[in-house]
Structure 1
Amino acid sequence: MPEFKRLGVKVIALSCNSVDSHRKWIKDIKSYGEIIDEFPYPIIEDLNRKLATALGMLDPAEIDQTGLPMSARAVFIIDPAKKMRLSVLYPATTGRNFDEIIRVIESLQLTEKYKVATPVDWRKGDDVMIDPSVSESEAKASYNDIKTVMLPSGRTYLRIVPQPIDA
């Protein structure tokens, strides 16, 4: 949660269990995570699985004790304009990778602000690529240290620069 707060992200959970079940589960989470303060985000009850079904969050390979499909462990990143920017569905038996979720949010926030793209395995502070839609003249006007990767195609769209840093 401190990382989500640092990034200005609001967190909300959806569960196919009852509010009473959520209250008990929150006690377990707080105990396990050694959380003393108030629980940091709301959990929505979806007993009839209406929202989980609409969002494609049911895992047909995992069935609960009543024979119903369990909800997958889903992550949806919605930007401030309410546009879905990322959705990841993990099987019900697989936990989420919060390091990757933070990495994606940092990438989305950076690429929203600057005309850059983040390469595979990028981490905050690593070099980035100038967005291919940026003209050569605009790139030269915006960046001092451009490393153009020579490719067999002869195209020069792979332009590497240090990550822009806010002043």
Structure 2
Amino acid sequence: MPGILLGDEFPNFEADTTVGRIKFHDFLGSSWGILFSHPRDFTPVCTTELACAAKLTDEFKKRGVKMIALSIDSVEDHKAWSKDVMSVSSAADKDLPFPIIADDKRELSVKLGMLDPDERDKDGMPLTARCVFVVGPDKKLKLSILYPATTGRNFDELLRVIDSLQLTAQKKVATPVDWKPGDKVMVIPSLSEAEAANLFPNGVTTKEAAGFTRSRDFATSETSGNTRS
């Protein structure tokens, strides 16, 4: 992403939102955070996305993740549109469970590289793309994904990558293709045999694989679900 790379400290910006003015780091506190932008309020794809995010709020909370959305619309538009979002989410009697940032001057969108040059409003100004930033409790960028305005996101996939990020932040492991919680994982190659034995007392299973040096052999644990690579 232009302006911020993985491992960089995420900017501690101030912004007006549907819950008042916030300072981003204070908003996050000690939590993980997911900041996601959408092109425009009152549009069909964006409405389905935020409705899905609203339905999954409890799943994000279980993981200690605070959500916050953003687009170039005003706070007033956000508040009015939120009613449509909650109606689509089948919870019309409830408020949107996360705030939306108003970036009507596009200052934050430019700073974070969130604009889609191919999607423009009636005045020819670029709209925000469908960006996703996952920020850790240390306020550093852990993951970024950029979708064009024409492609809606998969929020189940966002939950999956957060599960992976949180696991790998706590354990010296990596997650393989299509990994889901409960699946086998891989011990990082830099871990020595002694360290692996200490961290994973249930043991690991090493597998020889063509094209890999011995230090990168795959290994799985039958009891703990750990895999050495």
TM-score (norm 2): 0.68
Q: Does 1:37 align with 2:87?
A: no
Instruction: State how 1:126-137 maps to structure 2 within 5 Å.
Output: 126-137=183-194
Q: 2: CA distance between counterparts of 1:129 and 1:149? A: 12
Aligned partner of 2:58 in structure 1 is 2
The root-mean-square deviation of aligned C-alpha atoms, in Å, is: 1.4
User: For the Cα contact (< 8 Å) 1:118–1:129, is it kept in 2?
Assistant: yes
Instruction: State how 1:94-133 maps to structure 2 within 5 Å.
Output: 94-133=151-190
Q: Could you tell which deviates more after superposition, 62-71 or 26-35?
A: 62-71
Q: 2: CA distance between counterparts of 1:163 and 1:75? A: 29
Q: 2: CA distance between counterparts of 1:154 and 1:93? A: 43
Deviations 1:75-114 (A, max 9, x none): 1000000000001111011111111110111111111111
The SS at the match of 2:190 is coil
User: 1:44 Cα shift?
Assistant: 1.0
Q: 2: CA distance between counterparts of 1:92 and 1:66? A: 17
TM-score (norm 1): 0.92
Unaligned residue ranges in structure 2 (runs of 5+): 1-56
Aligned partner of 1:27 in structure 2 is 83
Aligned partner of 1:150 in structure 2 is 208
The SS at the match of 1:12 is strand
The SS at the match of 2:143 is strand
One-letter identity of the residue aligned with 1:68: M
Aligned partner of 2:68 in structure 1 is 12
Q: 2: CA distance between counterparts of 1:73 and 1:87? A: 11
Q: 1: CA distance between counterparts of 2:195 and 2:182? A: 22
One-letter identity of the residue aligned with 2:204: I
Q: 2: CA distance between counterparts of 1:150 and 1:72? A: 44
User: For the Cα contact (< 8 Å) 1:149–1:156, is it kept in 2?
Assistant: no
One-letter identity of the residue aligned with 2:214: R
How many residue pairs get aligned? The number is 164
One-letter identity of the residue aligned with 2:171: Y
User: 1:141 Cα shift?
Assistant: 2.7
User: 1:63 Cα shift?
Assistant: 1.5
The SS at the match of 1:10 is strand
User: 1:156 Cα shift?
Assistant: 3.5
Aligned partner of 2:220 in structure 1 is 160
